[in-house]
A = this chain, B = another copy of it.
């Protein structure tokens, strides 16, 4: 009898979370269940507990997975760009990510399942810190002090995130081009920023 049996694919926490994330994107965040995920992986629900702590833990893991993926996308989008072009590129990449990952979008738009009392994944911390450092540099071309930069970053992210979210919830019914609205929104944001004194440039 030849060893016909599948090598029996081994799952680990990361691959399980990854599969779960894809599941939410395909079937919707609310459709995520251990039963469905187990079927998808070809194993039985109790086996999942060898990799994750339960449904809540899985949801939290999906959140951090999504956050890291989004951070990565933003960093890549801004690479080799600067100034307004960089901001626009990041904005479009952010929106693209949200549209391409409807499940993760929902995951990114809700309080973490397990109350996030400080104790966080160190890898996530690092990713966030890296993003912040990078993001601050995005706004180099504007006349902002340290506080102003934080304000500006929060505003930018709010704008992008809110837009992408409202877009997929179907809040933009009116017969005006949504992509144009997005570009308009970002440009209006940039337009409002205080320009750095001209003589200070170049």
Contact = CB atoms under 8 A, between A and B. Distances in A.
B168 A158 contact: no
Contacts of A28: 111
A165 interface: yes
A155 interface: yes
A113 interface: yes
Q: Interface residues of A toward B: which range?
A: 35 or more
Q: Is the interface of A mostly helix, strand, loop or mixed?
A: helix
A182 to B, nearest CB: 8
A26 to B, nearest CB: 14
B169 A155 contact: no
Nearest to A150: B176
A148 B109 contact: no
Interface in A149-185: 150-152, 154-155, 157-163, 165-166, 168-172, 174, 176, 178, 180-181, 184-185
Counting from the closest, the 9 A-B pairs by CB-CB distance are A162-B162, A192-B192, A155-B185, A158-B162, A158-B163, A191-B192, A151-B184, A188-B192, A161-B162
Given A150-B174, A155-B159, A155-B163, 5 more contacts: A106-B111, A155-B189, A158-B158, A188-B189, A188-B193
